[in-house]
Structure formats: C-alpha cells, structure tokens
Amino acid sequence: MRAVLVVNPQATSTTAAGRDVLAHALASTLKLDVVETRYRGHAADAARAAVVEGVDLVIAHGGDGTVNEVVNGMFSAAPAGTAPMPTLGVVPGGSANVFARALGLPKDPVEATHRLLRAVETGSGRRVGLGRANDRWFTFNAGVGWDADVVAEVERLRAGGREVSPALYARIALACYFRVARHKPLISVRADDEEPVTGLHTAFVTNTDPWTYLGPRPVRMNPETSFDTGLGVFSLRSMDAYSVLHHVAQMLRGRAKPHGRNSFRRADVGRLHVTCQEPLRLQVDGDNLGERSVIEFTSVPDALRVAV
C-alpha cells in the first residue's frame, strides 16, 4: 500500500526523534513517502499531489490545522464524488487534536501509529461526514464572530512565539467577549428551509461533538451532532454576562443540551445560510479565514474514509 506521511514539524507535541520513530514504524508496513511542511498550505499541496499520484493512504501528523489542510488538499484534487479518494490517517501532534479525539484515537502519537497500522492490516475504517464553509472544508467546527476573533488573536500571538495553552485561550476568549458584547448583534442564520433568525451575536457551527476541548474537559455545544448527522448550530441572542456564563456552564456539564431563551440551536441541518450586516471573521477547524459577509455552510455526508 502506498502512503504519504504529511508532518508538521512545528506542531505542539511533535519532535524530530518522535517523527523518525513514527516514520520507521509506518515504513515497516507501508510504501511510505514523508513530507515535512515548510510553509502555510504545504500540507494541502502534498495531499493534492498524493491524490493525483493515486496514493492509497494520506496520513496527517500534526494538529487540527494540519488535518484541515490535508483534507482540503485532497478534495481540491478530487472534488467529492468525482474520483477515488485515498483513505485519511491521523496521528495527533497538536495541542487540542479535536478531530482525532472525536474519532476515539489515542492522544499519544506512538499509540495512534500502532492503531493506524492495525487499521491498515485489518482494513478497518469508517466514513465520516464533513462540513463546508463556502469553498472550505472543515472536519469538526466553524464559527463566525466571537470564536473566530479568539482564533485570530491566538494565531497572532503564536506567530510572535507565544506558547499556546488552554489558559491563554480562556484569557483571549474573555477579552474578545468584552469587545463583542459592546456591539449590536450583526448575524442572521437560516437553517435549511426555516425562516431566518436575526439579531444574533455569534454562530457556532459543529460537525461533531464535542465542539472543542478546554484542556481535558470537553465542550459540548450540540450533543446530537456527530460525523453521521448533519451540522449543528448554536447562536446567542444576548451577550449579557449571566446568559453567557449560564450557557458555558451547560456546555461544560456533560451531555446536556445547551438551551435558553437567549440562544438559538438546531441539529442535523443540511444547509446553513449566515449573513452579517458588517464583515465578521470566520474560522474553520481553528484556522482564521479572515472576514466574510455571507457564508454558506453545507453538510456533506460520508465524504471521506478514515482509518480507525
């Protein structure tokens, strides 16, 4: 079986020695090529080339950003349903690894590699649904407004050499909250054929649950959402501190569904149309895509096969 291992050497929990061990283990079973990314978009370029060359398995070793780039590169070479697509393998190497954890993969890269090799030997895998935000694919979440502002600020600090941690995310989320709370609601959401809901401050879109993690703690925004359903959406009508804290507590509590008169929530949605009165930031899988005024979110069932 031909495989390409796409490695992000800058990922939080990857080391040169660890990468060598993983590559050696994979090469014992697979006809393996290794690509270490050197620039933004390199993982997408490598995945695109792998599809064109007819590779059987593309393995992403890095964080959620690396996985997202690999997925988008694969689909840029073969749009959904137009050609055979390689299987995706994931070896976690980032700080959050939301997609890998949602699949039930081990957090430890060595354990995840052994799991991947067993899946290759037995042919084990599953189909997962994905989401699209305009022309960008995402694996686990996307968002407009507050969370996208947080992602943009974290990216800025990371580019300056700041180490990312759950505590840093929490501090930035709080600072961004105060900025968002001062502004009037700018977002309108239409779920499938329903009437548009206006006067919203945020739009959190989920392709699985948990939506993300606060360190080891899962954040459950739409527990009915999974890789086998349509998209979920959760929005806030009010940024009043009590309302926000109430919903955050619900999200951290377990599998309870966040609810309240100040929120709008839907699950298993095929299409979401989001409009912003002023351009707002958009993030997908923790990657800042800049400002948008109109975003069309689409659920694509059974889009990709993943080795698990």
10 Å CB burial of residue 33 (0-12, 13-18, 19+) is middle
Gap between the Cα atoms of 250 and 245, Å rounded = 9
Question: How crowded is the C-beta side of 284, counted as CA atoms within 13 Å?
Answer: 25
Question: How crowded is the C-beta side of 130, counted as CA atoms within 13 Å?
Answer: 26
Instruction: Of 97-101, 117-121, 158-162, 284-288, give the lowest mean pLDDT range.
Output: 158-162
Q: Is the pLDDT of residue 281 over 80?
A: yes
Q: How confident is the model at residue 3 (pLDDT cuts 50, 70, 90)?
A: very high
Quick check: 227 and 141 in contact, CB under 8 A? no
Q: Where are the alpha helices (DSSP H) in the chain?
A: 16-27, 42-52, 64-77, 98-102, 109-122, 146-159, 166-181, 241-253
**What is the pLDDT, as a whole number, of residue 291?**
97
**What is the pLDDT, as a whole number, of residue 81?**
64
Q: In this prediction, what percent of the chain has a pLDDT beyond 70?
A: 98
Q: Where are the alpha helices (DSSP H) in 195-296?
A: 241-253
SS3 163: coil
Q: Is the pLDDT of residue 271 over 80?
A: yes
**What is the pLDDT, as a whole number, of residue 56?**
96
Beta bridge partners of 137: 132
Taking all residues of the chain, what is their mean pLDDT, rounded to a whole number? 92
10 Å CB burial of residue 243 (0-12, 13-18, 19+) is middle
DSSP state of 22: H
What CATH fold (topology level) applies to the domain 2-124? Rossmann fold (3.40.50)
CB neighbourhood size of 149 (10 A) = 23
**What is the pLDDT, as a whole number, of residue 292?**
97
223 contacts: CB under 8 Å, gap ≥ 6? 209, 255, 256, 257
**What is the pLDDT, as a whole number, of residue 251?**
87
Q: Is the pLDDT of residue 159 over 90?
A: no
Q: Is the pLDDT of residue 255 over 70?
A: no
Look up the CATH number of domain 138-302: 2.60.200.40
Q: pLDDT tens-digit profile of 180-198?
A: 998 999 999 999 999 999 9
Instruction: Of 16-20, 85-89, 145-149, give the lowest mean pLDDT range.
Output: 16-20
Considering the chain, tell me which residue range(s) the CATH 2.60.200.40 domain(s) occupy: 138-302
**What is the pLDDT, as a whole number, of residue 109?**
92
Considering the chain, tell me which residue range(s) the CATH 3.40.50.10330 domain(s) occupy: 2-124
SS3 44: helix
What global pTM score does this model have?
Answer: 0.93
